[in-house]
Amino acid sequence: MPEVIILGTLALDTIETPFGKQNDILGGSAAFAAYAASFFAKPGIISIVGKDFPAPHKRALEQRGIDLSGVKVEGKTFRWEGFYEFDMNEAKTLKTELNSLAEFVPEIPEPFRDAGYIFLANTDPEIQLGVLEKMKAPGTVILDTMNFWIQHKREALLKVMKKASIVLLNDGEARQMFATPNLVKAAKEVLALGPYAAIIKKGEHGALLFTKDSHFNAPGYPLEEIKDPTGCGDTFGGALIGWLAKAKSRSQETIRKAMIYASVLASFNAEDFSLERLKKLTHKDIESRYQEFVRMRNF
Amino acid sequence: MPEVIILGTLALDTIETPFGKQNDILGGSAAFAAYAASFFAKPGIISIVGKDFPAPHKRALEQRGIDLSGVKVEGKTFRWEGFYEFDMNEAKTLKTELNSLAEFVPEIPEPFRDAGYIFLANTDPEIQLGVLEKMKAPGTVILDTMNFWIQHKREALLKVMKKASIVLLNDGEARQMFATPNLVKAAKEVLALGPYAAIIKKGEHGALLFTKDSHFNAPGYPLEEIKDPTGCGDTFGGALIGWLAKAKSRSQETIRKAMIYASVLASFNAEDFSLERLKKLTHKDIESRYQEFVRMRNF
């Protein structure tokens, strides 16, 4: 029985960065998130793929113990094609083919409904809300989204936000969502809706945590080699929910540590395309970089 | 006798931000840097102003015990006019009148030459080099610069860099100077020239310290009210040299603490125009925000 449920996309990505081009590689928010979560807890995915979804991609997820019984198979797999310029900070989309994702109605396997840790990775907020309402004991719910939903489905997004425990937004999304350049104000708006934490992701600059009584600044890891930042935000969210599920606590200390582990996983993810770096990752690698985070912030 | 020598500009700034417009206010790299340094050590300024430089501006500096005997008075004061848009991250220049700064040949008062702590704030690298060569015992030299000098006087800038102890660059300047998007690589290029530390300033995202054996990530302070970020980089550099002069050590621990104090002063500076916030600042305010930095990065 999965401990962590991840709702999100499974995709075939075609990506060009200054360091190469790769076609039809495994991508999608649920792929990165579940893979990252699997280092700390047992994840199950709610998603959809097409009949063309390659068997090796499926095996890559199953080999980590990820439960795919909530993944429907219909039509063609969702595809995304994009590129990064030299600064690597922002993906430029060349093409999006929704395919089977366009008509996605999630089906939640019975054993999934008891899980207490849910990551609503980036997808349509109406679908997020639908899944959340079917969960029996959603103790910790992390919500991610993107600019498209803020612009086109803000009301639905507000509804999910009210039910979330932790809301993830990147800095641009936070400013857009609450029409303010001020990240502190945006975070307070999130908290006023109900969540006990707002996390503002700032890419290479790290992430900020805001709770009612305190704020925390998780540093970015100064990577020397970045091959492909795709999925770093999803990796962050997945590792976060996985670590919280493992820790079984929502104390300030726990969530700060979880953010550092999430930053560790996200920093590794950027070092290669798709899940290639995470596939080689060991717990020793994770601990070693965690300690580097400790050293680079002592003063 | 000043303990810290600051070479830089004194200016009359006209600045518009979304929070107001102010005319002919006290500005310039040396003004912010010396004022910030004065909280920790006794600074002396090497600079030039015009006969039109307002007496209250001069008094504001003298009241902090800043030695102005190295400030020449000739012609008209350097003026800068600029504005910030809503994101407040980048100053847009409307007008620069160099005036007496165009023909500036520094004269260094005899008592200044023995100081061991020098901050070469942003100015022509040839002038920075000339001043540095006249100092008798420049133990700790912090160097700041800007994109204009990187583009137009790169060779002279490289010469000063080789003689500096600590080089400050913002992220854009670091990338431009060494033609790489990678801040880690840029920092290593700085260290290869001779300095024992490279500090990459990232504005609201904090600052990174790189030395031969370690890196450190100083967080930005999440300000809720920003009125005018002008001079934050200079404030950072001035507080840094002041704190190092007070600590009389260049240990890793000392420089990390100095960076946090520098971040504290810079964060206060953004809260009002010109030196207005720093004028009201107490040591208690500084300690209190320092402790907030400690709390917001514990995990």
Residue A44: predicted pLDDT = 98
Q: Chain B contacts of A218, Cβ < 8 Å?
A: 299
Residue B87: predicted pLDDT = 66
Do residues A267 and A222 touch, judged by C-beta distance below 8 A? Answer: no
Residue B47: predicted pLDDT = 98
Task: State the SS3 of chain B.
Answer: CCCEEEECCCEEEEEEECCEEEEEEEECHHHHHHHHHCCCCCEEEEEEECCCCCHHHHHHHHCCCCEEEEEEECCCCCEEEEEECCCCCCEEEEEEECHHHHHCCCCCCHHHHHCCEEEECCCCHHHHHHHHHHCCCCCEEEECCCHHHHHHCHHHHHHHHHHCCEEEEEHHHHHHHHCCCCHHHHHHHHHHHCCCEEEEECHHHCEEEECCCCEEEECCCCCCCCCCCCCHHHHHHHHHHHHHHHHCCCCHHHHHHHHHHHHHHHHHHCCCCCCHHHHHCCHHHHHHHHHHHHHCCCC
- Count of Cβ atoms closer than 10 Å to residue A120 Cβ: 31
CB contact under 8 A, B219 and A217: yes
Is the Cβ of B213 closer than 8 Å to some Cβ of chain A?
no
Q: What is the mean pLDDT of chain A?
A: 95
CA of A37 vs chain B CAs: smallest distance (Å): 20
Retrieve residue A251's tokens: 């104390």
CA–CA separation, A185 and B109 (whole Å)? 49
Distance of CA A178 to CAs A152, A169, A190, A233, Å?
A: 14, 11, 9, 20
Residue A9: predicted pLDDT = 96
Nearest Cα residue to B197 out of B184, B212, B186: B212
Retrieve residue B31's tokens: 């003004």
Q: Chain B contacts of A205, Cβ < 8 Å?
A: 202, 205-206
The amino acid present at A276, given as its one-letter code, is E
CA of B69 vs chain A CAs: smallest distance (Å): 36
In chain B, what percentage of residues exceed pLDDT 90? 86
Residue A222: predicted pLDDT = 87
Task: Give mean pLDDT, residues B178-191.
Answer: 93
Is the Cβ of B252 closer than 8 Å to some Cβ of chain A?
no
Least confident of A142-146, A216-220, B87-91, B183-187: B87-91
CA of A132 vs chain B CAs: smallest distance (Å): 30
CB contact under 8 A, A217 and B202: no
3-state helix, strand, coil in chain A (%, to 5): 40, 25, 35
Residue A116: predicted pLDDT = 96
- Count of Cβ atoms closer than 10 Å to residue B185 Cβ: 16
Closest partner CB to A257 (pick from B217, B224, B299): B299
CB contact under 8 A, B296 and A216: yes
Dump pLDDT digits (tens) for B207-266: 999 999 999 999 999 888 789 999 999 999 999 999 999 999 989 999 999 999 999 999
Is the Cβ of B214 closer than 8 Å to some Cβ of chain A?
yes
Do residues A40 and A242 touch, judged by C-beta distance below 8 A? Answer: yes
ipTM of this complex > 0.85?
no
Nearest Cα residue to B201 out of B251, B263, B141, B159: B263
Residue A87: predicted pLDDT = 66
Q: Check pLDDT > 80 for residue B90.
A: no
Q: Chain B contacts of A215, Cβ < 8 Å?
A: 222, 296
- Can you tell me whether residue A182 is helix, strand or coil? coil
For B216, nearest residue in chain A (alpha carbons): A296
Residue A226: predicted pLDDT = 85
Residue A210 main-chain phi, psi, to 5 deg: -120, 125
